[in-house]
């Protein structure tokens, strides 16, 4: 059995590798990858493994985006420490979902479940399952933030774009005010509606209305100029450029 591990925390990756090798002594761990970009690159240049264990939150974003950029034709066991409401959605679709810290017995059950999958079962259409998951998700409507000696509510509809600076996430509002929030960019990746906000890179979420211009940049990248904050340089990688164009052209 050839297994690919997609996990951005080295301690968790090492523990998972050890558990897999204990439960399946003849398995081959073909690689351990910690990013969306690295996963896409590996999958497009290597033979498909028999099984993938995949953390949902990776170093550069949410692993669901891997399925939008490349074809995965093997079963996937998702792992995460969050989003308990997704457990049922994945269970009923015969794709397992393990909560961290992963217990050996639970992993054993997942592997046994994998072995019972019919060889003819279509495991390629994970995107449909993810659509079902997304439809069940409740995206954030507002933020409760510190304000003077108390708090105030900020509606998501009032956000122009989101950016990260000095390891802190900031909401840049349509009235040109800036509000820091406690959520990380990775957490916001799960909480903000992807139909409204596009994860341009690690530092920025942008919305179509916040864009002043889109320019070609070197090495097939794109450069975005923001209407209300031209001082911020937003670069979209060559790998994300086609996805961004599709997001804008609909």
CATH fold, domain 142-248, is OB fold (Dihydrolipoamide Acetyltransferase, E2P) (2.40.50)
79 and 102 Cβ atoms separated by less than 8 Å: yes
Per-residue pLDDT, 23: 95
Q: C-alpha dihedral over 92, 126, 34, 106, to 10 degrees?
A: 20
pLDDT in tens, the chain (250 residues): 999 999 988 888 999 999 999 999 999 999 999 999 999 999 999 999 999 998 887 878 778 788 878 888 888 888 876 554 454 435 433 467 787 778 889 899 889 888 887 654 444 455 555 555 544 456 888 999 988 889 999 999 999 999 999 989 999 999 999 999 999 998 898 888 888 999 999 999 999 999 999 999 999 999 999 999 989 989 999 888 988 998 998 7
For residue 40, the tally of other CB atoms under 10 A from its CB is 18
The 10 Å CB-count burial string (b at 16+, else e) for 7-16 is bbbeebbebb
Question: What is the model's pTM?
Answer: 0.52
Report CA torsion sign: 20, 21, 23, 29.
Answer: positive
Per-residue pLDDT, 174: 95
No. of H helices and E strands in the chain? 8, 17
2-136 is a CATH 3.40.50.2300 domain: yes
The domains of the chain are located at: 2-136, 142-248
For residue 137, the tally of other CB atoms under 10 A from its CB is 15
Per-residue pLDDT, 142: 92
186 and 63 Cβ atoms separated by less than 8 Å: no
Per-residue pLDDT, 157: 93
Q: C-alpha dihedral over 91, 140, 157, 143, to 10 degrees?
A: -170
Q: Is 109 left (phi over 0), alpha (psi -120 to 50) or beta?
A: alpha
Per-residue pLDDT, 92: 35
């Amino acid at each position: 059995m050839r297994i690919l591990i997609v996990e951005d925390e080295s301690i968790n990756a090492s523990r998972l590798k050890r558990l897999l090798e204990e439960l399946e002594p003849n398995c081959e761990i073909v690689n351990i990858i910690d990013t969306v970009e690295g996963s896409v690159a590996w999958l497009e240049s290597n033979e498909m493994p028999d099984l993938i264990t995949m953390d949902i939150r990776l170093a550069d974003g949410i692993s669901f985006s891997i399925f939008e950029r490349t074809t995965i034709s093997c079963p996937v066991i998702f792992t995460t420490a969050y989003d308990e409401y997704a457990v049922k959605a994945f269970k009923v679709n015969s794709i397992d979902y393990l909560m961290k810290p992963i217990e050996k017995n639970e992993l054993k059950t997942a592997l046994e479940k994998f072995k019972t999958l019919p060889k003819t079962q279509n495991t390629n259409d994970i995107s449909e399952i993810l659509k079902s998951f997304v439809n069940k998700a409740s995206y954030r409507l507002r933020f409760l933030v510190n304000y003077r000696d108390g708090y105030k509510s900020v509606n998501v509809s009032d956000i122009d774009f989101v950016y990260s600076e000095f390891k802190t996430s900031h909401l840049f509002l349509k009235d040109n005010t800036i509000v820091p929030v406690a959520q990380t960019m990775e957490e916001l990746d799960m909480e903000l509606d992807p139909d409204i906000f596009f994860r341009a890179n690690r530092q920025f979420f942008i919305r179509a209305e916040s864009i002043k211009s889109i320019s070609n940049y070197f090495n097939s990248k794109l450069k975005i100029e923001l209407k209300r904050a031209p001082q911020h340089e937003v670069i979209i990688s060559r790998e994300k450029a086609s996805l961004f164009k599709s997001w804008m052209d609909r």
